């Protein structure tokens, strides 16, 4: 099943980060820090789109890679900051996973009328969240375009982020 997230759902999600988060304290001003694209429909949910067997296969791939402390970008450099993000992650670029999720990205881009031009995906980030893990409210868009020798990155901005929840044993 496919549904658009309502404004109320978005507000509930944001408020779930608690009163002590910078956004809820009014200290976070994304306009000063990052490029922001605010389409009318900012979320697209596909409930139970990927079967459990495939989810377990993705988990196996993610856990087979070296897990490391998650970093955030602070002043243009990667850094560990557990107040903002506490989790372990690995990276993969398995083509079959891209083949699996790309139709959902394309559908969301069209159905939500974002109509972003996109021609490439970053490496897949596999996060392992435990009871004490968290990732505070954040924007998945940098201050400006990537600058890189790699033509896939150079002069591009992240436009669409996909979250694929691989299990149903979490709250949050």
Which residues pair with residue 97 across a beta bridge? none
pLDDT digits (tens, 9 = 90+) for 4-32: 444 455 555 555 545 455 444 444 444 44
pLDDT band at 33 (very low <50, low <70, confident <90, very high): very low
Q: How many separate helices (H) and strands (E) can be counted in the chain?
A: 4, 9
Q: What's the rounded Cα separation, in Å, for the pair 125 and 145?
A: 20
Three-class DSSP category at 171: coil
- What is the mean predicted confidence (pLDDT) over 23-42? 48
Question: What does the pLDDT read at residue 13?
Answer: 52
What DSSP string describes 11-59?
A: HHHHHTT-TTSTTTTT---HHHHS-----S---EEETT-S-HHHHHHHH
- What is the mean predicted confidence (pLDDT) over 92-120? 89
Between 15 and 80, the more confident residue is 80
Most confidently predicted of 33-42, 66-75, 122-131? 122-131
Between 34 and 53, the more confident residue is 53
Three-class DSSP category at 9: helix
């Amino acid at each position: 099943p496919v549904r658009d997230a309502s404004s109320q759902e978005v507000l509930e999600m944001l408020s779930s980060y608690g009163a002590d988060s910078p956004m809820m304290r009014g200290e976070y001003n994304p306009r000063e820090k990052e490029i922001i694209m605010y389409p009318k429909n900012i979320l697209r949910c596909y409930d139970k789109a990927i079967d459990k067997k495939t989810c377990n296969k993705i988990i196996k791939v993610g856990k087979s890679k070296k897990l490391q402390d998650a970093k955030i970008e602070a002043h243009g450099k990667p850094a560990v900051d557990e107040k903002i993000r506490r989790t372990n992650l690995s990276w993969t670029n398995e083509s079959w996973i891209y083949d699996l999720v790309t139709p959902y990205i394309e559908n969301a881009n069209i159905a939500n009328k974002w109509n972003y031009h996109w021609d490439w995906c970053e490496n897949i980030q596999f996060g392992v969240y435990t009871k004490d893990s968290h990732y505070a409210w954040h924007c998945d868009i940098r201050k400006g375009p990537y600058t890189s020798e790699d033509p896939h990155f150079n002069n591009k901005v992240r436009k669409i982020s996909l979250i694929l929840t691989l299990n149903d044993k979490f709250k949050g």
